[in-house]
Amino acid sequence: MAPKKKAKKSKLVEAAKPRQEQPTESPYLTPPVTLVIGESRQKYTIQEYFIRGTTIGGTWNNFGAKILIDVSDVHEDVGHTLAHYLCTGDYQTIRNLAGWDGEQEYRRSVLAYSAATTYGLEGLEEHARRMMLRLDYSIPILTILNLARSIYSKLPEKNTWFKEYIKDKMTAAFCADEGVFREDEFLGIVGTDPGFDKFLMRSVGEIYAHKIMTLRDENEHLESLLTPMDVPVEYPSQENLALEAPVEEVAVKQIEELPAEPEEEMLHLEAPDQVVFEEGPVVQKSCPSEERPGSDPEDAWATPSTKKRGKAAKAIVMQHYEPEPEPPGSPVEVDNWNNWGYARTKIKSDGMHQADAGYIGVES
């Protein structure tokens, strides 16, 4: 039972230990140091304990009445941010009495990033980077480039994150407006810092080169859709073209081979009371319609397929053809005295004449 009691007691002791980091000595017992920040030489007094392990101040002894450390390469707008970070490890800026200003806060984050990279303050560098990414969505690209130009020469040579960050912002601005690099404000940035100018021109060239490659790939993709690679395009050779008949000759030949369409027979029905003969006088005989009891009167103008032809009046179908001349022979004698009997002339539908026994007139 004793070992179990000891184990339980050790757990209680561990739970009672403070979770915050405990210093080995009180920072407030160390001598004060004064940080001289910016061109305006603002003085921030902190304990010497908080600058231990940093490159701020270089080598100095902690004996003396007053210690001054010159950090004038840090902008005075982030003096409080630097001092607060050294004492607490947090990121903090002074509130603007006029209200929130996103562009000002973004500018402070860039300046704090520059101070952190200069003195190797990795924690402050991470804080500033996070604030830049949070605020840059509303900042114009020309403002970002002007701030980048102001700190570019102070950055270490091995720093690559900031260069990639600025290039990404330039690419996004170019995608939104391809004429952004032709504006006078952008051209005004060039020519003040040789190192930054070189970086700027290289970035612009890479952005345009990437755009050209993208357009080329899109064109090749469209061409591959229009002309599939697995289906080669075949063109007729000159020999095959020579062997083929001309288009006009083929068309004429096809037209000539078409079967002749039958000519429509023009049928004209003459009135039942009028008969036209080739020779001799025309005899007209009125044929009154005969009505049969219990049936409809006959339609004299009905078509040949439906018309009932009776003996009372027989319609003669004729076509308007010129009569063919009789072959030459002995002259035809005319019987003016009706000594040779009688003959009836009938006109057939084919235009030929036929003589039948009977008399001249309408058959009754």
Residue 229 has pLDDT above 60, yes or no: no
- Which range scores top for mean pLDDT: 47-56, 161-170, 223-232, 347-356? 161-170
pTM above 0.75, yes or no: no
- Which pLDDT band, with edges at 50, 70 and 90, does 356 fall under? very low
Say if 295 falls within a structural domain.
no
Strand order in the sheet with 32-37: 42-47, 32-37, 67-71
Name every residue whose Cβ is closer than 8 Å to that of residue 41 and which is 6 or more positions away in sequence. 72
Position 286 scores a pLDDT of 46
pLDDT, one tens digit per residue, over 268-320 is 444 445 444 445 454 444 444 445 545 455 554 445 554 444 444 555 555 55
Say if 358 falls within a structural domain.
yes
Position 111 scores a pLDDT of 97
Q: What total number of domains does the chain contain?
A: 1
Domain that holds residue 364: 268-279+312-318+340-364
pLDDT, one tens digit per residue, over 136-169 is 999 999 999 999 999 999 999 888 999 999 999 9
Helix, strand, coil shares of the chain as percentages rounded to 5?
45, 10, 50
Position 350 scores a pLDDT of 47
Q: How far apart are CA 124 and CA 121, in angstroms?
A: 6
The fraction of the chain above a pLDDT of 90, given in percent, is 35
Q: How far apart are CA 102 and CA 139, in angstroms?
A: 8
The encoded tokens of residue 311 equal: 């003996």
Say if 360 falls within a structural domain.
yes
In a 13 Å sphere around the CA of 285, the CA atoms on its Cβ side amount to 13
Provide mean pLDDT across the span 104-112: 97
The encoded tokens of residue 209 equal: 């080169």
Average pLDDT over all residues of the chain: 74
